[in-house]
Amino acid sequence: MAATKPIEPLAFMFADDGAIPNNPRLPLLYYRGVIDLSGTPNPEEVIEKTFKQHGWGQMWRNGIFPYVHYHSMIHEGMGIARGRAKVRFGGDKGQEFDIGQGDVVLLPAGTGHQCLWASPDLLVIGAYPAEGRYDLCRGSKAEHAKALLSIPDVPLPKSDPVYGKSGPLLQLWRQ
């Protein structure tokens, strides 16, 4: 398995914009270049093994939807196996990030995300903690009202998908 670099993630909070609720108490965590994928012919497998080792599953391989969306009943982890992308997190009034190979982004339930641009080779590994239930919300008023009720009840993950039980997610999401 490739080495994870001991880095502190960057933490970002986004306000509810009326369509995308975001998360009122948990920050998005951005681990830039945290997984060293240099020299591996199968970076997607390295990320999948890292996530699985730390209890994150229900994995998928794909890109990021080109429309703003969020999940109101589960947290999401995204590891970049190949390529680059410009992604806006937090909804229309959120913040744009240039993400690339080896980066991991952890989105607390309710956090909007949308791919604005992607290199042709972009490959994202998505994963979810065992706690919670997948849903896909696109920002309707009815979804927003339900999400405001469900987001606070989403259980915290039992481990950080990159570092495990001693990872920064556990400290930053419990403060």
- Residue 4 in domain: no
pLDDT given at position 175: 58
Q: Could you tell me the CATH number of the domain that includes residue 63? A: 2.60.120.10
CA 26 to chain centre: 12
Token pair 């429309």 is found at 67
Domain count along the chain: 1
The mean per-residue pLDDT over the stretch 110-130 comes to 98
Give the pLDDT confidence of 62-77 residue by residue, as tens digits.
999 999 999 999 999 9
How many angstroms separate the CA atoms of 73 and 154, rounded?
Answer: 6
Give the pLDDT confidence of 12-48 residue by residue, as tens digits.
999 999 999 999 999 999 999 999 999 999 999 999 9
Segments forming the whole domain that contains residue 74: 10-172
